[in-house]
């Protein structure tokens, strides 16, 4: 577009939140709002509460299928929706069309890659947390952008893991700062009740998508996407 502005790419916590805040209030506000609400609703039925009294009883027989369903839902269905949500926000950060169908796009062409990538990241993070927590935090930060790479670059699961690790090299503390800032943004949103919490989630998603695009631009001189930076050209 002739009037499109391009920015010098500098992945940063403050810059990502600043750019993301502006983007969510442009023409795609309603699709992003609906996406967060839909994912929030779908994220609801993942838990099942039960009480164990020390004796095996009929209630445990009823609880077992619920546990199996919860695990299947968490690992076979929900990641596809969440990966789609991340991709939707990335599209908006790129000034592309925000189509809610993207939430379910992974079921058509990327389902196996999404499920496997989610399992690999989960396993690696859990192994890291078992190694005195800090390695788990490092792995979690370095693999934060696997979902974007699966959806955006159509990478195989292990390739996406390797690429996320490569992209975040030298940016680990920034990604950690992004996560810490996201926590306080969400707490601030919760303080102003449900609508504030939803807006905070939208803001967090947009910041992560912006940061990811910044990392891409930093590692690819041919990337034409206009994104945040410090100095405007």
Q: Can you give the residue ranges of every domain in the chain?
A: 13-47+57-219
**CA–CA–CA angle 137, 105, 210 (5° rounding):** 45
Q: How many beta carbons lie within 10 A of that of residue 69, not counting itself?
A: 13
Tell whether the model's pLDDT for residue 4 goes beyond 90.
no
Q: Which of 213, 192, 196, 174 is nearest to 94 (CA)?
A: 213
Distance of alpha carbon 34 from alpha carbon 24, whole angstroms: 12
Please state, rounded to an integer, the average pLDDT across all residues of the chain: 84
* Average pLDDT rounded to a whole number, residues 203-220: 90
Tell me phi and psi for residue 121, to 5 degrees.
Answer: -65, -45
Confidence (pLDDT) at 45: 56
Read off the tokens for 48.
Answer: 């099942």
Tell whether the model's pLDDT for residue 95 goes beyond 60.
yes
Tell whether the model's pLDDT for residue 213 goes beyond 50.
yes
* Average pLDDT rounded to a whole number, residues 1-20: 65
Tens-digit pLDDT profile for residues 125-149: 999 999 889 999 999 999 999 999 9
Q: In which band, very low, low, confident or very high, does the pLDDT at 116 lie, cut at 50, 70 and 90?
A: very high
Read off the tokens for 56.
Answer: 């095996």
Q: Is the dihedral of CA 172, 149, 227, 194 positive or negative?
A: negative
Helix, strand, coil % (nearest 5) of the chain?
A: 75, 0, 25
- State whether residue 228 is helix, strand or coil: coil
Distance of alpha carbon 62 from alpha carbon 204, whole angstroms: 38
**CA–CA–CA angle 211, 215, 216 (5° rounding):** 115
* Beta-bridge partners for 232: 7
Cα–Cα distances in angstroms (integers) from residue 156 to residues 32, 81, 117, 177, 231, in the given order: 27, 18, 8, 28, 35
């Amino acid at each position: 577009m002739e009037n499109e502005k391009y920015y010098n790419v500098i992945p940063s916590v403050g810059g990502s939140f600043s750019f993301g805040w502006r983007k969510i209030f442009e023409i795609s506000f309603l699709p992003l709002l609906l996406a967060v609400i839909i994912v929030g609703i779908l994220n609801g039925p993942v838990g099942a509460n039960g009480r164990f009294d020390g004796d095996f009883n009929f209630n445990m027989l009823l609880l077992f299928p619920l546990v199996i369903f919860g695990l299947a839902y968490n690992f076979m269905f929900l990641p596809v929706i969440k990966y789609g949500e991340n991709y939707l926000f990335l599209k908006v950060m790129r000034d592309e069309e925000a189509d809610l169908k993207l939430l379910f796009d992974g079921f058509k062409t990327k389902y196996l890659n999404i499920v496997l990538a989610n399992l690999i990241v989960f396993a690696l993070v859990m192994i890291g947390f078992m190694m005195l927590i800090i390695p788990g935090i490092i792995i979690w930060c370095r693999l934060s952008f696997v979902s974007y790479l699966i959806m955006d670059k159509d990478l195989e699961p292990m390739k996406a893991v390797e690429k996320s690790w490569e992209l975040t090299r030298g940016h680990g503390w920034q990604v950690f700062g992004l996560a810490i800032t996201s926590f306080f943004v969400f707490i601030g949103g919760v303080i102003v009740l449900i609508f504030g919490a939803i807006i905070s989630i939208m803001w967090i998603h947009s910041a992560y998508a912006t940061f990811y695009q910044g990392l891409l631009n930093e590692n690819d001189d041919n990337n034409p996407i206009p994104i945040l930076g410090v100095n405007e050209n």
